[in-house]
Structure 1
Amino acid sequence: MTSQAAATRKRPLVGLFVTCLVDLFRPSIGFAAIKLLQDAGAAVEVPESQTCCGQPAYNSGDRADAKAIAKAVIESFERFDYVVAPSGSCAGMLKLHYPTLLADDPAFAERARALGEKSFELTSFLVEVLGADSVKARFGGNVTYHDSCSSLRELKVHDAPRRLLASIGGLALTEMEETEVCCGFGGAFSVKYPDISNAIGEAKARNAIQSGADCLLAGDLGCLLHIAGKLSRDGSQVECRHVAEVLAGMTDTPAIGQARKAE
């Protein structure tokens, strides 16, 4: 074994759960996550067999399909030391809901519990597991941060992204009012209750604008797509980006929701 191979073997092996939204709408987030994990000392693989985490089916009451998807995810990821997702929503599904969903399945109950114990949201994994307290990136401007419901309430992620953002040269973080309040997306919620979703989104967009920040960051792409859509329709110049892109210094792509404008 070469010295390089030996060094790689000592590094924790992370399976990156890319998420559907990142894969289909914003692949740059996945590449940013890989860079951050590798820079922090992890070896990263992206299983090609991965699919959705099953949350849409789960939240809609379709337990049969949710269980089938969960089993497929477990089979794809259980060989890794850790499973990391650039999304509190998907990480919460793997970590908290899989064990409950498959608790009565003799073939998967323990496997679901084991996967849940080693599944993490990206920024919390970087800080709490890999011990990262800084990143090598620069970002000129004033940003504000939106705490997604799943990250904050399910996984208790709050300090980790802010600790890493504090290390970025040129970046100033201004907390907006009600940063911990829902953005109104909620997956199927925005489809079932569009009027309520829009009202909540209006409040979030208003708070982002009033913060004076040039850019809104968050750790969940669903939230960002929802907020960016509202800001864009209102003619706001506040940009939206996933926190991983800024932490990795990968901000050459247009802001979320502005790709079409840039073409």
Structure 2
Amino acid sequence: MNIDLNADLGEGGDADEALLGLVSSANIACGWHAGGANAMRDCVRLAAQRKVAIGAHPSFHDPANFGRKEMHLPPDDIYAGILYQLGALSAIAQAEGVRVVHLKPHGALYNQAARDPAIAEAIISAVHDFDPSVAIFGLANSRFIEMAREAGLTAVEEGFADRGYRTDGSLVPRSEPGALIDDDDEMLAHVLSMVRDKRVRTVTGEWVPLDVRTLCLHGDGPHALAFAQKLRRTLEENGVEVQAASGLSH
């Protein structure tokens, strides 16, 4: 069994360098919800040194809310914003002798793309027009994943180690009970169900089929690094090889 471990980096946390020793893919903030030019360059350099796959992590232009507030923008604005952020990170990567191989939207943009075809289409079109070899990470079982494949892009289904799920396969909103899982043992069981059994238990107790090929480790929690270490060790003990999604998706 193979799984990709990804983490959202360059967002101002102090665990980025340590997390890069544990993950296989890095989603680097592009300045619109967090980070900036220097943080992007630092993350690219560190990821390149550790041979971690480099991805763009674009968002709505909303640093005040860390990109987690829903916005309703014209698709053309979203398209241009994705190109802007992807282009900035790609320029830095090129200067460092590497390239951006995937894109994962952040926060509200990610969740809205999973359920709004117009937003999904804007993101997919921007990635396709920029470089159709760039893969898209999106919520497993979402229409966003299907649309990316229909457009000829590589789409990688993502699951979340620390988030609760609804029966439709969507994430429980952060404002609702059960949105976040903060117990290590519960998170490990949650992950192993997704990776080994290809299913997830919802907050209401049902089992839902879920075929994930990359797992997100949020790097901004107080115990993110300790949990990442424990998860990596648990996966290896269960015969799961950690490998970048670019090696799983073609």
Higher relative contact order, chain-length normalized (CA < 8 Å, sep 6+): 2
Q: TM-score, normalised by structure 2?
A: 0.35
Structure (1 or 2) with the larger CA radius of gyration:
1
Q: TM-score, normalised by structure 1?
A: 0.34
